[in-house]
Amino acid sequence: MTRRSHRDEFSRKDRAAIFDRAWDAETRVHHCENPACGAALKRGEGEVDHILPVQLGGKPTIANGRLLCSPCHKAKTALDIRMIRKSDRQRDKHTGAIRPKSSIPSRPRKTPKNYASAPLRVWNPWDLTATGKGSD
């Protein structure tokens, strides 16, 4: 798990700017910046969320920050964790850390019926002229 370091957190100034943006001058309260919510926040409520999580490359900037009420922040964080896990899995697949489920079996279990009649085609990964099509 990637540790969050101090530089991933919003600066005091940016936090203040995000709070200012969520301020409703008319009702004189902060609002949750989730458009589907918009709940009025009591004094001291509200959490500054990284819209794109730090673990996925998000930066602690005003543009990547927004003020959320506690339930929205919890829901968003749960969603972030799912996205981070998914991206971890995809990265692992690319780097070969986890072998895909459909990896080549170490030993063929059964000789296919048409095995003997099939043309011998061994893919050579170093042969850059082999395109895999039209070379028969």
Backbone φ, ψ for residue 6 (5° rounding): -60, -35
Window of 4-12, 44-52, 68-76, 79-87 that interacts with Zn ion by CB under 5 A: 68-76
Q: Does 69 bind Zn ion (CB under 5 A)?
A: yes
Window of 15-23, 38-46, 47-55, 114-122 that interacts with Zn ion by CB under 5 A: 38-46
Instruction: Closer to Zn ion by CB, 47 or 88: give it.
Output: 47
Integer angstrom CA distances of residue 51 from 38, 60, 61, 64, 68: 16, 9, 10, 5, 10
Q: Does 55 bind Zn ion (CB under 5 A)?
A: no
User: Using CA atoms, how far apart are residues 111 and 92, in angstroms rounded to an integer?
Assistant: 32
Alpha carbons within 13 A on the beta-carbon side of 134: 2
Window of 39-47, 56-64, 105-113, 115-123 that interacts with Zn ion by CB under 5 A: 39-47
Q: Does 78 bind Zn ion (CB under 5 A)?
A: no
Q: Does 18 bind Zn ion (CB under 5 A)?
A: no
Backbone φ, ψ for residue 97 (5° rounding): -65, -35
Whether the CA torsion 129, 132, 133, 134 is positive or negative: it is: positive
Q: Does 32 bind Zn ion (CB under 5 A)?
A: yes
Which residues are near Zn ion by CB under 5 A? 32, 34, 37, 39, 69, 72
